[in-house]
A and B are shown apart, each in its own frame.
Chain A
């Protein structure tokens, strides 16, 4: 066999490769990644996979238990609710409303947060502190209170959830990015780049930003799980998505009427929320433990 490798020492992996190796060495992190991947896929194609329409009511199958129960049928895999709607189909439709909205909110908050946070982090003195602390007052209003305020102004609905959760998430991004940029700015490698004649924009993009992305990534996973929980909680309080919409928190609220006779109408949407948040958190946890040793 031809010796193709002349040097016996291993190729040095790139930083991204290193992170991936640490990340992939944890089975629970990989499981979380699969979960998040599935959720993203279902956000796009969930509609086509659902056996029934979200609002389709089957009058012959009211409060049908899940299929593993002796009274259940395979047709309605996870049972039906009190109006005869197929819970499995509604869950599939709901991925877009709960998970999809969460991702959309977090991406918008991320863009705004990165812009404000990096501008205020790069500046110094009073200007920076005004910009950096401008949104701190919003940070102290919990997301639910923010939602109540937004609903009081505009009335309930999923679009208001977008504003409410978005407004309460943005200051977190601003603060995290502001602090990281500010900390990195004090370090000596930045001074070295400045002595080399780099201007502020170059310092920001080529010198500091590569070290800020880690914070951004970790903050994003935290924000996605918080956003899912907030959207569901608002749906449950009837302040977010409204009644016929198959948002998971709203489904729990609708199942509440038949909770005692048909607990699966509450348990199954709740489990769906739990599993999605759990998979996001597993990914976040894995990323954090993979990124932290690199930073130190």
Chain B
């Protein structure tokens, strides 16, 4: 097992280095001065220029430059933003929690509604219902997310006027960021209107979270259904039936846990598309997360924002997919067979 964990750690380090290498290479291709692309300072004073050359070893060979670049980025020096002139790391720390909040709520919606629906689709003998669920998920899988977001915003935001369609919270509420998660911050704040602010934040998150949840929801339903159909045909389910266990107990205690294992694996594979969708959703609903930050960065050709945004998101995805893979191995004894045999 230790061997396996070390291998995964190596994979993480190697992939991260490769990622930084890709970004390092891309930085050289940016159509601006290298020092500007690295630091974000367009017109440096002599002292700043000397500092940039010193920091990134611009007078040395490319290997030394790469090592210096890696060191600077990993130690948290991401340069300053070209447009706001503030350090990137500050802006990143403000934007990340908002994105996490949105992704977390969307993922929660997808799992809470997706798993039961997948189980129902697998167990029902009502063929019309089954077909309806499958057709619905296939359609949900095919909807362009920006179009769905716009349509939902038009109906529920503008025509019906039920839900706000922009931002994280009404700007009238002044909430001091503690955790960065608006839903928690409103509850933690000591202002007299915190319940009203919490309700407002909750209303603001509904539309973006539902839009973002559509893709993972459809995938969760389909994977759960396929896994559940597979598990219900196994002999141990028949054995449980033969012992006379109630049907609900068979499904909940014997079938569902085993059906959730393949789901875990697919969640890991889904992270990339999910992040792409999250960027689009954040742009549509002006969610102050890392996606809209990145897209405004590209509109303004803010090279430091682009680099560090991509680095942060990609590293997060690499880390979480390796974490999910490890969890999958822990949860699934069958996948451990390989290294019991070989070691």
Interface residues in chain A, defined as those with a beta carbon under 8 Å from any beta carbon in chain B: 28, 133-134, 136-145, 148-149, 151-153, 155, 168, 225-226, 229-230, 232-233, 236-239, 249, 252, 256, 259-260, 263, 266-267, 270, 273-274, 277-278, 280-282, 285
Contacts and interface: CB of A to CB of B under 8 A. Distances in A.
B301 A152 contact: yes
B233 interface: no
A232 B154 CA distance: 20
Interface of B: 11, 14-15, 18-19, 22-23, 26, 29-31, 135, 138-139, 141-147, 150-151, 154, 158, 272-273, 275-276, 279-280, 283, 294-295, 298-299, 301, 303, 306, 309-310, 313-314, 317-318, 321
B310 A266 contact: no
Contacts of B303: 152
A145 B144 contact: no
A266 B306 contact: no
18 contacts: A133-B11, A138-B22, A140-B314, A140-B321, A144-B276, A148-B309, A153-B30, A225-B142, A236-B280, A237-B146, A252-B146, A259-B150, A270-B144, A270-B147, A270-B151, A274-B142, A278-B138, A282-B138
Given A143-B272, A256-B150, A278 B314 contact: no
User: What is the interface of chain B mostly: helix, strand, loop, or mixed?
Assistant: helix
Given A140-B15, A282-B138, A145 B150 contact: no
A153 B298 CA distance: 10
Contacts of B15: 133, 136-137, 140
Q: Is the interface of A mostly helix, strand, loop or mixed?
A: helix
Given A141-B317, A145-B275, A145-B310, 6 more contacts: A136-B15, A143-B276, A145-B314, A149-B23, A232-B146, A266-B150
B314 A277 contact: no
Given A144-B280, A145-B310, A252-B146, A137 B18 contact: yes
B38 to A, nearest CB: 14
B276 A233 contact: yes
A148 B275 contact: no
A226 B19 contact: no
A233 B280 contact: yes
A290 B150 CA distance: 36
A145 B313 contact: yes
B22 A281 contact: no
Contact of A142 (B30, B138, B141, B276): B276
A99 B182 CA distance: 40
Contacts of A270: 144, 147, 150-151
Contacts of A149: 23, 26, 306, 310
Contacts of B317: 140-142
